Amino acid sequence: MSKRHIKKVVSSDSDLDTDDLSRDDLVKVVVEKEELLKIKDDEFQKMKKKSLRSYVEMENVINRTKREEGNFKKFAIQVSFSRHVLCQILLHLLIGVVPLLKTLSEGVEMNDK
């Protein structure tokens, strides 16, 4: 590692004076900077993984929501159809019962007279 490169690395710390440092001190500073860089890179990788997991989860939520929307539409159609069928059945039942009720009513009236 050249002295110029070491001075560049060390010069990022304003409290260090490169002229007063020995070669061993400079090497220690570089090693410390490399360790700090590794720590920061590890933090970056963790944040990157978290970000990717969040993105994947968001995509899963979107896909799940789309599926549920499709299921809801199918269910709504089924409910509407079932309600229509039930209304038709009730209507037919009432049509069948009304004449019987009419006959019963007429019979009650005849008995009253």
Taking only the tens place, the pLDDT of each residue in 70-105 is: 999 999 999 999 999 998 888 888 888 778 778 888
Higher-scoring residue by pLDDT: 105, 19? 105
Closest CA to 29 of 48, 56, 5, 61: 5
For 15, the 3-state DSSP assignment is: coil
What pLDDT score does 18 carry? 59
First to last CA, the chain: 124
- Give the separation between CA 77 and CA 74, rounded to whole angstroms: 5
- Cα–Cα distance list, 53 to 37, 56, 58, 71 (Å): 24, 5, 8, 27
Residue 53: CA count within 13 A, CB half-sphere: 6
Alpha helices in the chain (DSSP H): 3-11, 23-112
Summary mean pLDDT of the chain:
84
Q: Say whether pLDDT at 37 is over 60.
A: yes
Closest CA to 9 of 66, 64, 18: 18
